[in-house]
Amino acid sequence: MQYYSLNNQSPIVSFSQATIQGQAPDKGLYFPSAIPQLPAGFIDSLKTLSKEEIGFTVMKPYVGGEIPDAILQQIVAETINFDFPLVQVDEQISTLELFHGPTLAFKDVGARFMSRCLGYFSRNNNAKVTVLVATSGDTGGAVANGFLGVEGVEVVILYPSGKVSPVQEMQLTRLGQNIHALEINGTFDDCQAMVKNAFVDDEFTSKVNLTSANSINVARWLPQQLYYFYAYQQWQQQEAPVVCVPSGNFGNICAGILAHVSGLPVKQFIAACNANDVVPSYLKTGVYQSKDAIATISNAMDVGNPSNFVRIMQLFSNSYPQLLEKLTAYSISDAITSLTIREVYKEFNYMLDPHGAVAYYALHNYLQSHESSKGFFLETAHPVKFPDVVEKETGIKLAIPEQVQYLIQQPKQSILMEAKYEDLKEWLINKG
C-alpha cells in the first residue's frame, strides 16, 4: 500500500514513511492510493470471528507488508484488548461504548496502534523521535498512555489551558517520564496551528525528528475503523444501521466512512457537532468556511477547522452531491446537550457524557423522520471526564474509575506557553 498527499505536491510514500512523517511536506494529509475491499464472505462471517481476526484482516492491506504478519497480529491484539460493547438505550437507539480502554476514551485504539507501529519502525534508529500532538482533551491522554516509556520516543502534547476536564488534564500532566505537557494560553485550534507550523518548518525539521500523533497520522486514523466492525458484529437487525458520530476534527467519522467504502454495511452517517458548525453549514449551503472555535461543554469537538474533512471529501471523490447522499450533520447547542443528559438518564437510566449526548440527540432527531430505521451512536468518553455537567444533570456523584485513580496522587507537570509558534520552536530546540 502506498500513500499520497491530498495536496498532490509531495512524493508517494509507504505506510512506514507516512507514519513517521505524520504530515506530507506539502502540508497535505496522507491518503491510501487505493481503498482495499473486504474479502468475499467477510461480512457474512463477522459474528464467528474474534476481534483479533477482524482487526488483522482489516488492517493488513493498509500496512502493505511492512510489518510481519506475526508482529502485526500482536500489535492488533494489544490495541484492542478491551471491550467494545453495543448497549441498547431505547427502542431505536443503541450506543457503542468506546471508553473501556486505559484512558477511558475512543482514542485508545488509534494511539495504541500507532505507538506500537512507530516502535517497530524505529527499532533500529538511533535518532530520537519526537511525537508532537495537539489535543482538545482525549487525544493527548491516549497518546501519552500509548507511548509512555517507549524507548527513543519523546512525546510533546499541546493542550488549551483551562479548556480540558480535570481527569483529562491529569492524564496529560501526571505521567512524567518521556511525556511533556505544554499548557497553551489559547484554543485547540491555536494548539493545532502551532503543531502544523512545526511540521512545515524545514529549518526546524532538519534539526528535530518529528512525527504527529493527531488523527492526521495514518497510523492513528486508520485503526479507528475497527470499532465500527465490532459494532456491526453485535448488530442484531437485518437492515444496516444508521451511525451517528460525535465529530470535531472528523477523523473518527472519516474512519467509519472508510470502513463503509471498503464494504461495511451502513445505511447513513450522521456527524453530530456542537456549536462549531462548519460541516453542518457546508452541507446546508455548499460553501465550506472555517471559523474560530467556540468553547462548549463538549470540548473535544471544539474545532473550527476540522483537518480530516478533506479525507471525507476524497472518499466521496470530492463530489458534494455524493456526500449529501450518505452524510447528514447537525449542530447541537449546550442547552440541548445538558437537557439530553438529564432526560436520557431519567427515562432510560443511561448516563451520557456531553459528546455522547450530542450524538444521541442528533440520532434521535434523524430517526424521528426515519421511523423504520434503527441506529447506534458512539459514546466516545467516560462521563467521569466531564463531572461538572454530568453530575449537575444526573444528580449522581461520579466515582473515579480504577484506570485513572493512580494519577490522583501524582504531581502536575506542565509548562505554560503562549500560543506562539516561535515559543514552541525555541522550547523544542532547547529541550533537545
Active site residues: 107
* Contact of 220 with 251, CB cutoff 8 Å: yes
Question: How far apart are the C-alpha atoms of 277 and 331, rounded to whole Å?
Answer: 6
Helical packing angle, 107-121 and 69-79, nearest 10°: 150
Question: How far apart are the C-alpha atoms of 412 and 416, rounded to whole Å?
Answer: 12
CB crowding 306-323: b at 16 or more within 10 Å, else e = bbbbbbbbbbbeeeeeeb
**Neighbouring residues of 158: CB distance < 8 A, sequence distance ≥ 6:** 132, 133, 134, 135, 182, 184, 191, 194, 195, 417, 424
Cell numbers 476524497: residue: 314
**Neighbouring residues of 16: CB distance < 8 A, sequence distance ≥ 6:** 66, 117, 121
Locate 346 and state its grid cell: 431519567
Letter for the amino acid at 385? Answer: K
* Contact of 396 with 408, CB cutoff 8 Å: no
In the sheet with 30-32, reading across from the earlier edge strand, the strands are 13-14, 2-5, 30-32
Quick count: other Cβ atoms within 10 Å of Cβ 236? 9
* Contact of 157 with 424, CB cutoff 8 Å: no
CA 352 from centre of chain: 18
Rg (alpha carbons) of the chain, rounded to whole number = 20
DSSP 3-state of 273: strand
* Contact of 108 with 101, CB cutoff 8 Å: yes
Locate 224 and state its grid cell: 479507528
Quick count: other Cβ atoms within 10 Å of Cβ 249? 23
